[in-house]
Structure 1
Amino acid sequence: MRSFALHAGSMFDGYTLSGPATVYVSGDRIVRVDRTGGLPADGSEVIDFGVSACLLPGLIDTHVHLAFDAGTDPVTSLVSTSDSDLLTQMRTAARSALQAGITTVRDLGDRGYLLLDLVEEMSVHPELGPEILAAGPPLTTPGGHCHFFGGEVEGTEALRAAVRERHARGCGVVKIMASGGHMTPGSVPPHASQYSLDDLRAVVDEAHRLGLPVAAHAHGMQAIRDAVEAGVDSVEHVSFLTADGIAADPDLIDAIVAKGTFVSVTLGLDPEEVERLPKRQADYLSAVMDAYGNLHKHGANVVIGSDAGIGPAKPHNVLPHGVANLAGLGVAPLDALRSMTSSAARLCRVEGRKGRISAGADADLLVVDGDLAHDPSAVLDVRAVFRAGTRVR
C-alpha cells in the first residue's frame, strides 16, 4: 500500500480556505492533515506543489449524462448508437470529467441501465474515472421527456415498482421527470407538469423506504412546488418557468428554503460556446442565472451540476467553469466551491467520504494554481488530480 504526502501553499478543505498544508495519503484514503505548514521530517514521500498551489477535494458534479455526447444533436446520436459504442463513449466522457478534477458524478439518466456496467468497472479500477452515482433510466410518462432512455411508467403501483427495480439493480438515486423538458419533441412543454403530487409522493415514499434519494427534474412552477411538497431530496434546474416566461415566485423560494430541499442548478457552461448562443437562449440563460441568485441570497441549499452532455456548451469537463460563471452573480468563489464539494457530498449521501479533506475521507484530490478566494478561474489551472490515491493527471 503506497503512502505519500501532498504539500501546497494553501488548502480549501471543502468548507474553509487556510494556509500551507500537508495531506497524508495511505492507499485510497487520507490519513492525516497537517495545517502547520511544515514538511514531514519522517522520510515520507512528499510531492511539494509549491507556495502558489492550492489543495482541494475532488469536485462533485451533481447532474451529468455520460450517455450524451455534448454534440449538436445528442438525442439522435444516443438513439443511433449501439450499446457497445455507447459504453465506449461513456468511458471517454467519464475520463474527461476526471481530468478536469471531477472525481464524483451523479448521472441522472442513461439508457437501459448500461451505465451500471461502467460503475462496476470503475469500482475495480477507480483511476479510470470518477465515482459514479447512477440513476438509470429516469422515470417519465409514456412519450414524455427523455422517454428514449427507457424509463416510461405511469400509475402509482407501476411507479413504486420502478423504484424497487432501480434499487434492486444497484442505482444510487432515483430520477423522475416532474415536468417536461427542452430536448424531447412531442412531449409536454418544459413549464407543464408530467406527474401529479400523489405520483411524486409515491416515488419519494418508496425510494426513501429503500434508502434511496430522489432527484426531480422540474422546470415549471407547479412541478417545482409539487416536488418540494412531495419531499424530493433535490429539484433539478429550478427554472421557474411559466407559459409566459420565467418568474421566480418568492413564496415558492421561501418554501424551498423552509423545507431544506436541495436545489441542483445546472450552470456549468463553456464560456466560448455561450458567446455563440442565439439571443433567445442567451436571454433564457440570463433569467435562470437571476433565479439562482435569488435562491442563493435567500439561503437555499444550492449545489451546482453541469447537465454535462446535453450540448456543445456542456462538455463533460465543464463543471469547474461554474465557479467563474457564478462570479458575475456576486457569488463568492468559495461559496461556489462548497456547492461542488461539501454541499454536493451531503446531497449525494457521500458526506464524510467525498467533498472534504479530512482524515478518513477518500483520497480524491485536486491541486490547482492560484488564489481561489479572489480568482475563480484558478480552479481551471489544474496541476494534479488524484483519484482514490492514484495520480491521474
Structure 2
Amino acid sequence: MPRADDSRTEAVLDLGPLASAVRRSLNGDHPGETGTMLPPLVDHHVHLMIIGEDALADTAIAGFVDLGAPPDLVAARRHRGGLPRADFAGAFLTAPGGYPVGRTWAAPGSAREIAAEHGDGRSALPSAAETAVSEQHAFGASVIKVALNAAAGPVFDRATLDAIVASAHRLGLPVVAHVEGDGMARLAVDAGVDALAHTPFTEVVDDGLIARAVAIGQRWISTLYVAGYGEPTPDAERAADNLRRFAAAGGRVLYGTDLGNGDQPLGVNPAELALLASAGLDAAHLVAAITDPWPRRARAEGIATFVPGPPPATTHDLPEWLATACVVPTEDLELL
C-alpha cells in the first residue's frame, strides 16, 4: 500500500496536437526551464489606431489582425519587420453615413463610404465597390472589413455587399463583417462573408443559420468579453449562446479581443479565454482558436510560444496559465 507522502503525478489537461512538452536551452535567462511549446499566439481583432502602433510589442501575442485603421497607418506598418506579425483590413467599408462614421474613436480615414451599386455590372469602369477594395489592397490590406451595423445607421444592400465580396475574392482577400442589429448575421451569411468580426451579440442566430455559416466555412472571431465587460448582460448572454451552438456545430472559432475597446490587458486576455471555455470550448479548441494563423495560411516560422510549468489540471485554470506565455525562438526549445 502506498504511503500518504508518496509523490504522484497530477493529471493535466489534454491541450491537443498543437502542444508539446519542452525544455528551454541551457543558454539564456531561464536555462533548462521546462514547460509547453505552442504555435505563435494570434489576436484576430485589434485596433492599433486606438492602442498605438507598438502596444503589442514584447507581449506573448506574436501576430494580430487589425480590423479597422486608416490606410496610411497600414502602409506605414506593413513595411516594418519583427514581431508581432501584422495583418490589416484597412478602412471600414460602410454605406454612406453608416457605422463607424462620426465615432470619436474612429481616426480620420478609418471609414470608407461606398455608394450603392447600380447598373448591370457590365461597365468597363470599376464600380465604387471594386475601387474601395482595390484601394485597401494597394495600401497593404490582407483582409477586407465591411460594417453591417443596422443598429447605428444605414448598411449595404445585398447588391453592393455582393460586389464587395466578389471584388475582394478576386484579389484573394477574405471579407470580415461587423454584424450588429436584426438580420445582419443572415445578410453576412447570404453574401458569403468569410468571417464575423464579433460573435453576434444583438440577435439570437437560429440553428439553421448557424448550420449554413458552418457549411460555407465562415469563421467567428470571439470578442465575448466586450459584449458585457465581464457582466452578465443580455448581449453577453446572447453572444455566449450563439458561440456555444456555433462551436458545437463544428464552426471554426478564432480568439479575438477587439483590443482598444474598453479596458483590456495588452497581450493575452484571460477573461476572453475564460468566456470561451464557459461557452464550451475545451482546452484543445482554445489552443486552436488562439494559434490559428488566419487570414494567413501558414504560421510564422522560427518562433514559438513557451508556457512555463506543467499545463493545469482544469480548463478553469487554463486562461491564467496561458497568460504567463512568452515568445521564444524555436531553436531555444528541446522536445522532451
Range into which the TM-score falls when normalised by the shorter chain: 0.7 to 0.9
- Please give the secondary structure, in 2, of the residue aligned with 1:238: coil
In the alignment, the residues of structure 2 paired with residue 199 and residue 332 of structure 1 have an alpha-carbon distance, to the nearest angstrom, of: 39
Alpha-carbon contact 1:174-1:207 (below 8 Å) kept? yes
In the alignment, the residues of structure 1 paired with residue 329 and residue 53 of structure 2 have an alpha-carbon distance, to the nearest angstrom, of: 18
In the alignment, the residues of structure 2 paired with residue 45 and residue 13 of structure 1 have an alpha-carbon distance, to the nearest angstrom, of: 27
Task: Deviation per CA, 1:283-339: give whole Å up to 9, x if none.
Answer: 321221121111111111111211110111x34324444222222233212211111
**TM-score scaled by structure 1?**
0.68
Question: Per the alignment, do residues 389 and 309 of structure 1 end up closer, same or farther by CA in structure 2, a change over 3 Å counting?
Answer: farther
- Structure with bigger strand share is 1
Kindly indicate whether residue 137 of structure 2 is the aligned counterpart of residue 167 of structure 1.
yes
**TM-score scaled by structure 2?**
0.79
State which of 282, 298, 303 in structure 1 corresponds to 2:254: 303
In the alignment, the residues of structure 2 paired with residue 112 and residue 338 of structure 1 have an alpha-carbon distance, to the nearest angstrom, of: 30
Question: Residue 206 of structure 2 aligns to which amino acid in structure 1?
Answer: D
Task: Deviation per CA, 1:154-174: give whole Å up to 9, x if none.
Answer: 233211100011111221111
Task: Deviation per CA, 1:163-216: give whole Å up to 9, x if none.
Answer: 0111112211111112246xxxxx32xxxx611222221111111111111111
- Structure with bigger helix share is 1
Alpha-carbon contact 2:116-2:157 (below 8 Å) kept? no
- Please give the secondary structure, in 1, of the residue aligned with 2:72: coil
Question: Residue 22 of structure 2 aligns to which amino acid in structure 1?
Answer: A
State which of 90, 96, 99 in structure 1 corresponds to 2:53: 90
Question: Per the alignment, do residues 389 and 274 of structure 1 end up closer, same or farther by CA in structure 2, a change over 3 Å counting?
Answer: farther
Alpha-carbon contact 1:177-1:216 (below 8 Å) kept? yes
In the alignment, the residues of structure 2 paired with residue 284 and residue 252 of structure 1 have an alpha-carbon distance, to the nearest angstrom, of: 19
Task: Deviation per CA, 1:214-251: give whole Å up to 9, x if none.
Answer: 1111123522222222222212213253xxxx323111
Kindly indicate whether residue 332 of structure 2 is the aligned counterpart of residue 385 of structure 1.
no
RMSD between aligned residues = 3.1
- Please give the secondary structure, in 2, of the residue aligned with 1:247: coil
Percent of aligned positions with the same letter in both sequences? 28
Partner of 2:206: 249
State which of 297, 306, 309 in structure 2 corresponds to 1:369: 309
Task: List runs of 5+ in structure 1 lacking aligned partners.
Answer: 1-9, 24-38, 70-88, 182-186, 355-360
- Please give the secondary structure, in 2, of the residue aligned with 1:139: strand
State which of 60, 76, 82 in structure 2 corresponds to 1:117: 76
Q: Which has the higher contact order (CA 8 A, sep 6+)?
A: 2
Partner of 1:130: 84
Question: Residue 55 of structure 1 aligns to which amino acid in structure 2?
Answer: M
- Please give the secondary structure, in 2, of the residue aligned with 1:371: coil
Partner of 1:32: none
- Please give the secondary structure, in 2, of the residue aligned with 1:366: strand
State which of 19, 33, 50 in structure 1 corresponds to 2:33: 50
Query: Mean Cα displacement is larger for which, 315-324 or 142-151?
Result: 315-324
Alpha-carbon contact 1:166-1:174 (below 8 Å) kept? yes
Question: Per the alignment, do residues 12 and 131 of structure 1 end up closer, same or farther by CA in structure 2, a change over 3 Å counting?
Answer: farther
Kindly indicate whether residue 99 of structure 2 is the aligned counterpart of residue 142 of structure 1.
no
- Please give the secondary structure, in 1, of the residue aligned with 2:288: helix
Question: Per the alignment, do residues 194 and 138 of structure 1 end up closer, same or farther by CA in structure 2, a change over 3 Å counting?
Answer: same
Question: Per the alignment, do residues 12 and 159 of structure 1 end up closer, same or farther by CA in structure 2, a change over 3 Å counting?
Answer: farther
In the alignment, the residues of structure 2 paired with residue 55 and residue 333 of structure 1 have an alpha-carbon distance, to the nearest angstrom, of: 14
